[in-house]
Amino acid sequence: MNPAKLLERLLQLIPVMLGVSAIVFIMMLVTPGDPVDIMLGEQQATPEQRQALRKDMGLDLLAPQRFVHFLQNAAVGNFGISYFHRRPVIEVIMERLPATIELTLAALVIGLVIAVPLGVLAAVRKNTWMDRLATVGSLLGISMPGFWFGLLLMMLFGVWMQWLPISGRSDLASQVPVVTHFLTVDALLALNFTVFRSAMGHLAMPALTLGLPMAAVLMRVTRGSMLEVLQQDYVTFAQAKGLTRQRVLFSHALKNALIPTVTMAALEVGSLLGGSMIVETVFGWPGLGRVVVESIFTRNYPLIQAAILLYALTYVLVNFLADLLYTQLNPRVRL
Amino acid sequence: MSEASESPLRLSWRRFMADRFAVAAAGVVILFVLTALFAPWISPQDPNDSDLLRRLQPPVWMEGGEWAYALGCDALGRDLLSRIIHGTRISIFIGAAVVLIATGLGIVTGLLSGYLGGWVDSVISRVVDILLAFPYLLFAIGLMAMMGPGLQNIIIALAYKEWVIPCRLVRGETLALRSVEYVEAARAVGASPRYIMLREILPNILSPVIVVSTIRMAHVIILEASLSFLGIGVQPPTASWGSLVADGRSFIWDAWWISTFSGFAILILVLAINVASQGLRDAFDPRLQ
């Protein structure tokens, strides 16, 4: 893609991002309850103090003015004070974000590692028992409510077999220096395998809960695109040239068949972000998703607002990158 | 009768009936619908009747279980089976309501957007783009945080985003049909846009719309259960499958049945809807198989 086209596509993101911000702003604007009351909580305050606080929070301005303020502040990462934590929202988010990213990446890896080989196998052995088994498996995967699947794993591996810890991240986190904020990576960097084992043990069930439904979706996509690619002339030609089956499958067919899989994986990041709220709640994973859910009950609106905005903007960017990747991998698509 | 002389609808129906899995799945879905309709008459106990003497009573096949409380009891001694049966109502009602509202809205906006084009299309498409930018569950959580829990609010929260899916589908199909001969012909004889949209285009795009709405119903049911599981959906004491699973969470050590059976009900219904809608899709359009 030439730079002019790229710039044009980037500019097209701006109205969407503005729209997203507007919706998030309106959501909080029409939320019942006076922010000043929520902020003050049990504390007593004189009308003058309340008025000062109101002015401080910019609540005395008109809605459009408040929206401009909101955008200006959001642009520099200022999302106000988290009512519950009594600290800037952005601090709380930055503290919790690495755990969520670690979980999401682990789920993405699990999804791809399961989906790609199974999808290829199901396509190559189309209409055999293996294909049917994979189809049934993926149907189960997309029909399974994540929170229930998580609880089943917990009962099976945590309560019954007692192989894995049932909640939290790891109590040994303080034993390794913080480098990447991903506990599994930090433990590896410090060559501390006790901590690494503990971190992986805590990560296993939440990542599996989040990753398996995605594997189901990606497997269907891989199977479909592999079937399509296998019918193409160049694959027939490669076979006719006398190349080995492995060679044809892996270096000719798979490379092209993976394009839709990669695109779909990027699109699935949206459901991973949503799903992480459920999974983090089930497993007590100390990520952003869990704070958002807790914030609903403490009416901690600034944090909810910031998290929704952050997630939605991430999603827009990931979709944009997926589009770019798709065009790069598949030269026939011209934007 | 040869296939060519059959009406498309009859042909689809015959293809669907030949798919044994899909028919069985549709049977399961119908069973759930009947359960929802007749819940008060078929549940063995009152779902909200608590009896602390039966606190965490196990299912009938375990020691201490009895037939009157076949699947055991929850922490308040309420009959789990009766609560699951009543929970069917919530899932099916919310699933159907959200999909109906969303499909209706999606058809109207999609037809207008695809047929009229111009600024109408631009406005609708921008709104769709913006709504698509929000991860679904997150958007619903945001709306529920704002509106507060409750049955009506869940329907609103889910429908707010759900209509985008039928809208995009209808828009695409309408664009494709706008210049086919019979639509051109209707335009040439002076038919109004309204007539063309509703009488010429809509009947011809209904089958993909029906297929997609049945698939979406499965998604909506899972979303409602997720909201109720998080505690921001249907409120106690009303039994919803999601909140039943959540109730059982604190007792996975000594009363595994509460979460297990409630979640199993969700899995079976959603699975049946998914299988049936795949059969429906294959029957309407065998090329997609």
Any CB–CB contact under 8 A between B133 and chain A? yes
* Beta-carbon contacts below 8 Å between A and B: 138
DSSP letters of A263-309? HHHHHHHHHHHHHHHHHHHHHT--SHHHHHHHHHHTT-HHHHHHHHH
Query: CA of B21: which chain A residue's CA is closest?
Result: A136
pLDDT at res. B159: 94
How far is it, in rounded angstroms, from Cα A187 to Cα A20? 38
How far is it, in rounded angstroms, from Cα A214 to Cα A265? 8
C-alpha pair distances (Å), A38 with each of A83, A89, A302, A305, B248: 7, 15, 11, 15, 32
What is the mean pLDDT, run by run of 10 residues, along chain A of 335 residues? 80 87 86 74 76 77 84 84 82 91 93 92 87 89 92 91 84 79 84 86 93 92 89 83 80 82 84 89 92 86 88 86 78 55
Interface predicted TM-score of the whole assembly (ipTM), two decimals: 0.89
- Interface mutation vs chain A, best among B91, B123, B134, most A CBs within 10 Å: B134
Q: Helices (DSSP H) in chain A: which residue ranges?
A: 3-29, 35-40, 47-56, 63-75, 89-124, 129-143, 146-153, 183-189, 193-230, 233-240, 245-247, 254-283, 288-297, 301-329
Q: What is the pLDDT of residues B180-235, one digit of tens each?
A: 888 889 988 988 999 999 988 998 888 889 989 999 999 999 999 999 999 888 88
Taking every pair of C-alpha atoms in chain A, what is the biggest distance, in angstroms?
Answer: 87
Residue B4 has pLDDT above 70, yes or no: no
In three-state secondary structure terms, B286 is helix
pLDDT category at B287 given cuts 50, 70, 90 is low
Query: CA of B252: which chain A residue's CA is closest?
Result: A155
Query: How far is A191 from chain B, CA to nearest CA, in Å?
Result: 35
Query: What's the angle, vertex CA B248, arms to CA B247 and CA B249, rounded to 5?
Result: 95
User: To the nearest whole number, what is the mean pLDDT of chain B?
Assistant: 89
Which segment of A237-251, A268-282, B27-41, B240-254 scores lowest on mean pLDDT? A237-251
Query: How far is B223 from chain A, CA to nearest CA, in Å?
Result: 9
Of chain B residues 65-94, which have a CB less than 8 A from chain A? none
pLDDT category at B95 given cuts 50, 70, 90 is very high
- Percent of chain B at pLDDT > 70 equals 97
How far is it, in rounded angstroms, from Cα B138 to Cα A293? 10
pLDDT at res. A335: 44
pLDDT category at B65 given cuts 50, 70, 90 is confident
pLDDT at res. A214: 92
Least CB–CB distance from B226: residue in A139, A145, A313: A145
Inter-chain CB proximity B142 and A143 less than 8 Å:
no
Give the H/E segment covering residue A82: strand A81-82
Least CB–CB distance from B126: residue in A19, A28, A151: A19
* Residue A108 burial class via C-beta count within 10 angstroms: exposed 0-12, middle 13-18, buried 19 and up: buried
In three-state secondary structure terms, B79 is strand
How confident is the model over B105-113, as a mean pLDDT? 95
The strand pairing partners of A88, in sequence order, are: A81
pLDDT at res. A333: 55
Peptide bond between residue A3 and the one before it cis (omega within 30 degrees of 0): no
> On the CB side of A196, how many CA atoms lie within 13 Å of its CA?
9
How confident is the model over B9-32, as a mean pLDDT? 90
How far is it, in rounded angstroms, from Cα A198 to Cα A187? 10
- In chain B, residues with a C-beta closer than 8 Å to the C-beta of A295 are 145
- In chain A, residues with a C-beta closer than 8 Å to the C-beta of B245 are 145, 147-148, 151
Which residue has better confidence, A4 or B80?
B80
- Interface mutation vs chain B, best among A28, A143, A283, most B CBs within 10 Å: A143
